[in-house]
Amino acid sequence: TQLLEQSPQFLSIQEGENLTVYCNSSSVFSSLQWYRQEPGEGPVLLVTVVTGGEVKKLKRLTFQFGDARKDSSLHITAAQPGDTGLYLCAGAFREGGSEKLVFGKGTKLTVNP
């Protein structure tokens, strides 16, 4: 069974601070996606990383895929209240001839003004 562990589960910081969220597994994934979900809404895709060691930047957000494609991290620089939300990682893998997606339980981030 493919599992993704996200840490920390909850994170409350002040505006302007930096933070890193982790997504770890003992399994290898063909790609990994990060989503952000705001209250009352569905998850919205932020980025997809495909290659081991890949780093992608989206404004103040930096995403990294581990060399072995088993883990990923999301780093936010100078967090803003608008970054508040539930951050979910999702790993894609092939099983039984079809491709599937498994989600971590998420990191709930609160950025206080």
Site of interaction with other proteins (CB under 8 A): 30-31, 33, 35, 40-45, 48-50, 88, 90, 92, 98-106
The minimum distance between CB 101 and other proteins, in angstroms, equals: 5
- Give min distance, CB of 67 to other proteins, in A: 17
Nearer to other proteins, 15 or 41 (CB): 41
Return the CA Rg of the chain: 14
| Cβ 75 vs Cβ 59: under 8 Å | no
Output 32 or 76, the one with its CB closest to other proteins.
Answer: 32
Q: Shortest distance, CB of residue 85 to other proteins, whole angstroms?
A: 13
User: Toward other proteins, which CB reaches closer, 97 or 113?
Assistant: 97
